[in-house]
Each structure stands twice: as structure tokens, then as C-alpha cells.
Amino acid sequence: MLDESVDFEILEKHLEITLLRPQGNVNRPETWVRVVHIPTGISVFCNQERSQMQNKEKALAILKSKLFAIALAQGVQQVDEIQPRQIKSLSNKLIREYILHPYTKVKDLRTNLETTAATGVLDGKIDLFIKAYLQQPSQTTSVSKEALDNSK
């Protein structure tokens, strides 16, 4: 979530806000809100708060944070400069594969690391996978430490 100091504006005309109206039982108001940023297709659903106004504010804050993170990743300053085709969706990509029968195995698809301690992984003990991922060489080109030392 972005704090208030970041000046990042989203135009109202680029937003589609859906508020569910009560149907049937009018004594039980529905509180969920869905906000879609039309140019990028990013949508946020929120039903955590007790009122639609609070959910709308929270959904807008989450959408603003997502768009800001995408703008930083693409190296642009404004929301209008975001390239929708360059947005990489992480939700469509599998991270781990779990095999629980007839034998147990968990395989991290990013690092190709495997373990037979499936119950531990399912209980949240994933430090092994985190360390392997962090020790992996980065995919982007970076300047090596030796090159920095030689330039001094």
C-alpha cells in the first residue's frame, strides 16, 4: 500500500467501479466493490470492510499501489505511460509442484529444487526454497563486483 506522500493520480474516466446493490433482503446490505483500471485491465475486488465506501477506498488504494509498482517496473513516471502488453502476470505462473500420492515430493519450478518433506512445506517451512531462489543468479544483466572494483 502506498503512503499519502506519493503523488500518483489515476483519472476517473479510466476506472470502472462496480457496487453490488442489495437484492431480495434489503435489511442485509451488500458491501463488496470491484474496481477495474480500463487501460491496463487490472481489477481489484474488496469486501473486507463493513461499508461499501470503505471498501471502495481500500480497493482504490490497492489499485493505485499495483499501478505504481508496475510503473516502477517499467520505468515510467505516469499511469498513462504504462504499456499493458508488457505487464507480466505472476498469477498465471506455477511456482511449486506438489506430489502427495503414491510418494511425497515438492518441486520448486523456478529453481528446480526438490524435497520429500511435503508435510513440512505444506506447514509453511519453505526457507529452503526461499534461500535457493535468492541464491539464484539474477535474470537481468548486472555489473559484477569485480567490474566495479576494476573501475576505481
Q: For a pLDDT cut of 70, what percent of the chain falls above it?
A: 76
Rounded Cα distance, 99 and 141, in Å: 35
Is residue 104 located within the same domain as residue 127? yes
Is residue 67 located within the same domain as residue 125? no
Examine the pLDDT at 143 and tell me if it is beyond 60. Answer: no
What digits encode the pLDDT tens for the residues 22-44? 566 666 667 789 999 998 888 89
- CB 108: neighbour CB atoms within 10 A? 20
Indicate the average pLDDT of the chain.
Answer: 79
Is residue 43 located within the same domain as residue 68? yes
List the beta strands (DSSP E) in the chain.
15-19, 33-37, 42-46, 96-99, 105-108, 114-115
| Domain contains 65 | yes
Residue pair 63/42 in contact by the 8 Å Cβ criterion: yes
* Number of domains observed in the structure of the chain: 2
Residue 53: which domain range? 12-86
Q: What is the pLDDT of residue 151?
A: 40
Cell 479510466 belongs to 14
**HEC per residue, 90-113:** CCCCCCEEEECCCCCEEEECCCCC
